[in-house]
């Protein structure tokens, strides 16, 4: 694996960021969210799910590339924080020129990316995903450091833990702000299947599609599709024109698209110039699009 970038995964990033951007833009434009295609882009949050799958793939790729946790941490820091800091400064600038109140303590907490841990609001609504990403990086690095990353047992256990938590959540036994909620947040249990799906896509890419890898992919996809964390538990948020069954269909297509990108890494469609360009700027675009849209509209 000498390539530093895989064209089809840049294309997936492009699709992910386009989904999120259209989702937020249609939600902000009065009236458009109640008509087609606004109804369709209400489900653009699937772009976040796609980003989590891509993270699983990329983190596995990067850990094996450096084969050193310290180098991995430095590479991830360089990838995450400079653009993130620039986005926060840009946000402060927009708040200042709009004449709104600038909470310096809140911005300081966000600057560290510890705002959720310190119980401060995110400067931008899209920043909530970064704490999940950061937590996953820490877990992945620890598993790799202790020599367990190449083994199935640790990921099977994590998936079973996620399955149990999702089941309890689905049945309504996880009250807001309870210890169970905190445990779910700490171990990113709602999104564990997505990260692990990405990890096993990387294994399929680098080792081939063995039975054990395919089983883990199916197990991960099944858990997430069955419970759809954050959606089934808040059924009133589902738009009546796009029910849960249709949403599940979108999720299944998402998993199939990722498998296709892995099996055909240089395919023409996902490797198009437009999608790969969007993919290469996806992180910066993701961080700033909501600020720009909010300021504009």
* Token digits of residue 110: 């966000």
Q: Is the dihedral angle over the CA atoms 117, 54, 82, 129 positive or is it negative?
A: negative
* Token digits of residue 154: 């640790």
* 135 prior amide bond cis, ω within 30: no
Lowest-confidence pick of 13-22, 32-41, 107-116: 32-41
pLDDT at 219 over 70: yes
Domain ranges of the chain: 7-296
pTM above 0.75, yes or no: yes
9 pLDDT band, cuts 50/70/90, is very high
Q: Is 179 exposed, middle or buried (0-12, 13-18, 19+ CB in 10 A)?
A: exposed
Mean pLDDT of 93-105: 81
Give the percent of the chain with pLDDT over 70.
Answer: 88
The C-alpha angle with vertex 169 and arms to 55 and 243, in degrees rounded to 5, equals 75
pLDDT of residue 155: 98
């Amino acid at each position: 694996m000498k390539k530093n970038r895989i064209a089809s995964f840049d294309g997936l990033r492009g699709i992910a960021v386009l989904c999120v951007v259209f989702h937020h833009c249609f939600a902000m434009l009065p009236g458009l969210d109640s008509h087609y295609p606004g109804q369709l882009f209400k489900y653009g949050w699937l772009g976040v799910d796609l980003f989590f799958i891509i993270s699983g793939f990329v983190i596995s790729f990067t850990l094996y590339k450096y084969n050193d946790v310290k180098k991995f941490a430095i590479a991830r820091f360089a990838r995450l924080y400079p653009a993130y800091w620039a986005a926060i400064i840009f946000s402060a600038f927009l708040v200042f020129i709009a004449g709104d109140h600038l909470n310096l303590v809140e911005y300081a907490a966000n600057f560290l990316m510890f705002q959720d841990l310190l119980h401060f609001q995110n400067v931008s609504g899209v920043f909530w995903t970064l704490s999940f990403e950061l937590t996953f990086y820490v877990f992945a690095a620890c598993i790799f450091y202790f020599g367990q990353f190449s083994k199935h047992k640790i990921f099977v256990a994590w998936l079973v833990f996620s399955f149990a938590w999702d089941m309890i959540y689905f049945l309504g036994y996880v009250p807001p702000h309870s210890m169970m909620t905190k445990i779910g947040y700490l171990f990113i249990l709602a999104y564990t299947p997505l990260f692990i799906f990405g990890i096993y896509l990387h294994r399929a890419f680098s080792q081939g599609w063995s039975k054990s890898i395919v089983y883990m992919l199916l197990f991960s996809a099944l858990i997430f599709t069955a419970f759809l964390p954050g959606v089934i538990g808040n059924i009133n948020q589902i738009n009546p024109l796009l029910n849960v069954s249709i949403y599940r269909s979108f999720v299944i297509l998402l998993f199939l698209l990722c498998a296709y990108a892995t099996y055909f890494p240089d395919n023409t469609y996902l490797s198009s110039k437009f999608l790969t360009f969007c993919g290469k700027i996806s992180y910066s675009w993701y961080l700033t699009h909501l600020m720009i849209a909010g300021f504009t509209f």
